[in-house]
Structure 1
Amino acid sequence: MRDLLRSWHRWRGVHLTWMCLLSSMLHSRAKVLEKTFEGWMRYRDECLEKIANDPYPTGPFCNRTFDMYACWPDGSPGTIVNVSCPFYLPWFEKVKHGIVSRQCGPDGQWVLVNGTQPWRDYSQCEEGMESTTEESVRKLMVSFKVLYTVGYSLSVLTLISALLILTIFRKLRCTRNYIHANLFASFGLRAISVIVKDALLEKRWGMAIIQVSDWEVLLSNEAAVGCRVAQVVMQYCILANHYWFLVEAVYLYKLLIGAVFSEKNYYTLYLYLGWGTPVVFVVPWMMAKYLKENAECWALNENMAYWWIIRIPILLASLINLLIFVRILKVILAKLRANQKGYADYKLRLAKATLTLIPLFGIHEVVFIFATDEQTTGILRYIKVFFTLFLNSFQGFLVAVLYCFANKEVKSEMKKKWQLWKLDHPMLFCTQ
């Protein structure tokens, strides 16, 4: 068992690298782990049955045994006993002609190492070392993990700061900034949910495997509850993030093109659209996963029809954003050609900020609309993963900067507050 665990821990090191980036790859490997454990249980049961039924030899001999790794027959004193590599190994096809060996001592006892552990040569049953390509991919995935962890962490810090600014200063409280605040919250929740989900997965797959019961705990449904909840929350936050960006686009469209309307009434509808719409899609997806694909942490998409329950509304929101972007761009260009310089300057400032973000948000979703994880391979897959992780993780930071810290209204209000604070605390700024 110790030798099997050593192989498992080495394999898990690569496993965790992919885990934090490509959930589908992670859970395909988790499925391999589950099948490996099931194979080990079957191998053990067959071995114990053989041990119980085979006749015993006469004279001294090393006792038949199952040492948690391989099934050993009775051994003649002073000989090397060879058996085939266990069939439950994930890489069995590569080593099916190999053997594992133990030595039966002259006294009819299995030879031990350090007086406790049985001597065993299982070199022919080990998985080969990682190829240069696999090692390069592993390092690339580690870099990607660092990239998006930094991006989400930076986004959370800036978004929290931006939310505090919009809520503390009374003069900044208006429908437009309320929508911005909800957008900031959706980005922050998305970032936090991704970080929490990764932490739970690392805790789950990083647990120490010492004995058989640890395998059973690792693969049990009870152990997967936490990461399943995290997966559901993450999917909700991602959808909410997309639909609050859609709210931003719709609000801007109504502001620049639509007729006069009651902002107070529409704000309630915006809340339903931003926070309520995701529930309509997440609940059916959750039910489909529970009833049809209730395995591991619900990130393995064996039936893509269930995954499209989440993907279609995301693509729909991105396409609508892109259409609104094109429409507003035409209006602004028409105004510029007509030299209407007096056209609501604050609206144009708002339009510039939003127009900077709408294509950033929507284009990468639209570009990769048909380049799903199942259809992309090789360099194209890594390019997609890089751009998706970079844009998704740093986008919250960009939103906070453009909608808050670079906003003239916000900067003006912060400058006023700073001047008032200086007047209230003159002793801190007096010169000697």
Structure 2
Amino acid sequence: MAVIISRFPQRIVPSGRLELKNRMDRTRDKMAIMFLLLLKLPAMETTSGKVLEETYHKWIQYRDDCIRMIDNEPLPQDGLFCNRTFDRYACWPDAPAGSLINISCPFYLPWYDKVSRGVVRQRCGSDGLWELEDNGHVWRDKSECEEEKEVTSQEMWFKKMMVSFRTLYTVGYSLSLFTLVTALIILLSIRKLHCTRNYIHANLFLSFILRAVSVIIKDTMLERHWGRDIMKPTDVSEMLSHQAAIGCRIAQVLMQYCVLANHYWFFGEAIYLYSVLIASVLIDSNKYLPYICLGWGTPLLFVIPWMVMKLLKENKECWAVNENMNYWWIIRSPILFASLINFLIFLKILKVILSKLRANNQSEYPGYKVRLAKATLTLIPLFGIHEIIFIFATDEQTSGFLRYFKIFFTLSLNSFQGFLVAVLYCYSNKEVRTELKRKLRTWRLEAEIVCCGQ
């Protein structure tokens, strides 16, 4: 005999907070729902954090409504029945012995809209006890409340793809980090390389280093915040507390600053080359100071307002989710502005290079196109020209294959860009290689003199 129970509604208006009789029940409830969510939610930390907290609060509401029903509903007058209970997944009313009980899928499930017409089932045995499985747990059929297999397979594919992307850009940033640190040491340690051009290169290298470190730290903080294992009851409350999010929020702010600083040192490189080849800009008695203000000072003008708006309007989790895209434009607009100006300067410089090659009658020689192509490819990573490809294809406007391609393209180029810049403007630079060879010869001679003297 199947009995459909409709006494417990699918949605109940939130009520005042109910006091539980036993504090340990509360912590066990937290652990149960968190285990459920951590098994079901996607692997993307930036999204799962928000869904996790919202789902947990809905579960609290569902649990409180169930406790109120258990306390207030009158007991059956006669007959053998299974007792009403809340098993931390669904709310079960009293059930006549020998009956199959169907209740609606719990409304706190993140995918409730897809399973709102489904039911979860339990069987009340003829002895007035809930039927058990062979392993001793209460038998429950919740197949209609699970996500569709097709959606789950898509989720698994998305998880694997994002893990691959993360591995890709982690490798890229790590490689860039190693080569950039070495290049920075070379530029700063050899005195004959000290000039405005190389000082700007050194600051660009440093901005790449800080960007790589900040991205790695941000990922580590997000994984630490949302990827921790639930080993004891206090882990749940710590995970959902604002105090636990402070570290990843600081990492998020530092990352935004470093990304902006990186783009504005691209801008500084473009302006310097423009001033050398075309017109004098940012020139005063101290040629280096304006570039310092541009590269390290300008990002503060945008990161600080963005941080204030996040604190006042979107103070949730690790500040990784942009609910109101207007606040995100505080960070995005200066990057777009710098990228557009860099692209215009890039075109202007290529025009000047082309005109000089033609003026020297080099356009008649086979190497003409090679030199032009070399100049073009050399300037692209220095100015960050690849940013212009998806400059108008914003995150909210892209979907499907285009979105995945944009993510792959942006992450791969951004992570390996520091490596390319270090190779092009340090290791492959003729002046740097000459001075480095001279320095190595000097060290070798000094070492030989020391050895012979002994």
- TM-score normalised over the length of structure 1: 0.86
SS at match of 1:266: coil
Q: CA 1:189 to 1:373, structure 2 compared with 1: closer, same or farther past 3 Å?
A: same
| Match for residue 389 of structure 2 among 359, 364, 367 | 367
| Match for residue 8 of structure 1 among 37, 40, 55 | 37
Deviation (angstroms), 1:256: 2.2
- Cα distance in 2 for partners of 1:88, 1:329 equals 59
1:355-397 C-alpha deviation (Å, 9 max, x unpaired): 7234674433223222111111111112211211111111000
Corresponding residue for residue 415 of structure 2: 393
1:313 counterpart = 2:313: no
Corresponding letter in the other structure for 2:57: E
How many corresponding residue pairs?
412
What stretches of structure 1 of length at least 5 have no aligned partner? 20-25, 342-348
| Match for residue 254 of structure 2 among 227, 233, 242 | 233
- Cα distance in 2 for partners of 1:105, 1:367 equals 66
Corresponding residue for residue 140 of structure 1: 161
Deviation (angstroms), 1:279: 0.1
1:417 counterpart = 2:417: no
After TM superposition, list the pairs within 5 Å mapping 1:248-263 onto structure 2: 248-259=269-280
- Cα distance in 1 for partners of 2:389, 2:158 equals 24
Corresponding residue for residue 203 of structure 2: 182
SS at match of 1:265: coil
Deviation (angstroms), 1:103: 3.7
1:34 counterpart = 2:61: no
SS at match of 2:254: helix
Deviation (angstroms), 1:270: 0.9
Deviation (angstroms), 1:78: 4.4
SS at match of 1:150: helix
| Match for residue 70 of structure 1 among 81, 84, 90 | 90
Which range is displaced more, 61-70 or 175-184?
61-70
After TM superposition, list the pairs within 5 Å mapping 1:207-222 onto structure 2: 207-209=228-230, 214-222=235-243
Q: CA 1:48 to 1:212, structure 2 compared with 1: closer, same or farther past 3 Å?
A: farther
Corresponding residue for residue 50 of structure 1: 69
Deviation (angstroms), 1:122: 2.2
After TM superposition, list the pairs within 5 Å mapping 1:87-236 onto structure 2: 87-112=107-132, 117-131=137-151, 132-209=153-230, 214-236=235-257
Corresponding letter in the other structure for 1:90: P
Deviation (angstroms), 1:133: 4.4
- Cα distance in 2 for partners of 1:222, 1:100 equals 37
- Cα distance in 1 for partners of 2:223, 2:451 equals 50
1:357–1:399 contact (8 Å) kept in structure 2: no
| Match for residue 332 of structure 1 among 324, 348, 353 | 353
Deviation (angstroms), 1:308: 1.0
After TM superposition, list the pairs within 5 Å mapping 1:241-390 onto structure 2: 241-259=262-280, 265-339=286-360, 356-358=378-380, 361-390=383-412
- Cα distance in 2 for partners of 1:277, 1:316 equals 12
Deviation (angstroms), 1:321: 1.2
Which range is displaced more, 73-82 or 326-335?
73-82
Corresponding residue for residue 366 of structure 2: none
- Cα distance in 1 for partners of 2:267, 2:334 equals 11
Q: CA 1:261 to 1:250, structure 2 compared with 1: closer, same or farther past 3 Å?
A: closer
Deviation (angstroms), 1:176: 1.6
Corresponding letter in the other structure for 1:11: K
- Cα distance in 2 for partners of 1:309, 1:91 equals 33
Deviation (angstroms), 1:6: 5.2
Deviation (angstroms), 1:70: 0.9
- Cα distance in 2 for partners of 1:155, 1:359 equals 13
CA RMSD of aligned residues (A): 3.0
- TM-score normalised over the length of structure 2: 0.82
Corresponding residue for residue 3 of structure 2: none
2:253–2:307 contact (8 Å) kept in structure 1: yes
Which range is displaced more, 58-67 or 390-399?
58-67
Which range is displaced more, 199-208 or 125-134?
125-134
- Cα distance in 2 for partners of 1:364, 1:209 equals 42
Corresponding letter in the other structure for 2:353: I
Which range is displaced more, 153-162 or 366-375?
366-375
Deviation (angstroms), 1:134: 4.2
